[in-house]
Chain A
Amino acid sequence: MKRHFITGLVVLLPLALTFWIVSFIIDLFTHPFLGFAQKTFAALGWDKVSFLFLSPEDVVNLASKVLILIFLFVVIMGIGWVGRYFLFKYILKLGDTILHRIPVISTVYKTSQELIQTILTTTNKSFKQVVFVPYPHSEAWSIGLVTRDDFEVEGRVAVFIPTTPNPTSGFLVLFEKDQIIPLDMKVDEALRYIISCGVLVAPIRRTTPPPVAGKS
């Protein structure tokens, strides 16, 4: 009985967690537009439909979320496409300059802009190299990610060491280059190791060509 319960849990829990996280992210993106979409539905008189077991309210909610997501996707594609043309490039740049001038907003905007550009641009190698570092002291080790391999502070490289099991927080520690051992491990594998609290782990091997010494 107990064994079956646990088997069921193993099958269902990842699905439930995924559903929960995805709906959380969708809510995050659709929330600012939800009120507007609902009012539009009400104004058009489309808020009286109930479908199967869903009340009219639920139907409006669900439909608005789907529409908002589609709309956002189209807008993002549109911006990306239009941004290739000279005139629009100029307009986008103008908007950028204006945002950079507004006191409080500029700080937030600049930081998020830079962060997103670093993560989404494929050319530089930030957060790509998994390393083995002596942290918190010389007889215990941690697995971390090199944040940027093209930047040094006093000859030291910054390594992000995520917490367990939730890697969205962590520490930024500066190591000397010879303290860092680059590993033959993909970022996905490293995250798997961290999220599973160390249970899912392969043997740890260094990469054959020596350290980060490439650039700089």
Chain B
Amino acid sequence: MSSAQGQARQIFLSGLIIFLPLMVTYLIVAFLVGLVTGPFERFFEALFHEFKIVTHGVWIFSHDEVVHGAARTAILLLLAVGLVIIGHIASWMAIRGIISISDRVLRSTPFISKIYSSCKDFTDAIFSPKSGSFSQVVLLPFPSRDTLGVGLATATTHTDIMNPNGDELVSVLVPGTPNPTVGFLFLLRKQSLTYLNTPANEALRYIISCGACLPQVPPLPILPPASPQQEQK
């Protein structure tokens, strides 16, 4: 009896191993898509109803579900095309003027200015051309001098606090586990860091999985990159 039970359990488990990653992927992707398409959904569904593009359900999906799915797909496609077009025309002089004017207006609107400038700082940081920013994986002494944490070196800066001739400090982002949207930001001397050859996405995978997914290539220390010339103002 117990062996039959054990076998059933085995079968269920192996099914689960195949099914769960699919389910989790679906949930996360659906959440992200919903986040992006959310504000436009009502409008597009109204359009679909207005012009009677879809008139009845398909297969097991009801009419509403088909409209919903079609609206989402249309929004995603239009957004992708729209982004490419905006990116394309953003380099034209006239458009650039408009963008900088709208930027200034948003930055001087009382309540909105703080939110907008924070959001802009964040996206600028992520997409900035210097964004070798988030690619260097380091080990740092964290939270005490005898333990190590995994972090991403984001930028270097100068300070004259410890030593009047000036020191170079590296900003290190230590992402939280398993949710990397909460993290720590520390400043350390380059000598206290161990630079690794691991690519950033593998390090992030390692962190998000709470250490369960190992990097494919065993991490090895490498020489720190040469310090960039003082580009700060």
Contacts and interface: CB of A to CB of B under 8 A. Distances in A.
B121 A195 contact: yes
Interface in B100-131: 106, 112, 115-125, 127-128, 130-131
A209 B188 CA distance: 25
Interface residues of B, number: 65
A27 to B, nearest CB: 13
Nearest to A21: B115
Interface in A158-204: 163-166, 169, 181, 191-204
Interface residues of A, number: 55
B116 A18 contact: yes
A22 B112 contact: yes
A8 B173 contact: no
A53 B49 CA distance: 12
Interface in B60-86: 80, 82-86
A142 interface: yes
A9 B119 CA distance: 13
B29 interface: no
Contacts of A140: 140-142, 186-188, 192
Given A196-B125, A204-B161, A4 B88 contact: yes
Interface stretch (A38-46, A86-94, A112-120, A130-138): A130-138
A200 B125 contact: yes
A11 B157 contact: no
Interface of A: 1, 3-15, 17-22, 53, 55, 58, 132, 135-143, 163-166, 169, 181, 191-206
15 contacts: A9-B123, A10-B127, A13-B123, A15-B116, A17-B119, A18-B115, A136-B142, A139-B189, A140-B187, A142-B186, A163-B182, A195-B118, A199-B125, A199-B130, A203-B157
Interface of B: 39, 42-43, 46-47, 80, 82-88, 90-91, 99, 106, 112, 115-125, 127-128, 130-131, 133-134, 140-145, 154-155, 157-161, 169, 171-173, 176, 181-189, 192, 232-233
Q: What are the 8 tightest A-B residue pairs by CB atom distance, in nearest-first order? A: A198-B171, A7-B87, A8-B83, A8-B87, A196-B125, A4-B87, A199-B125, A8-B86
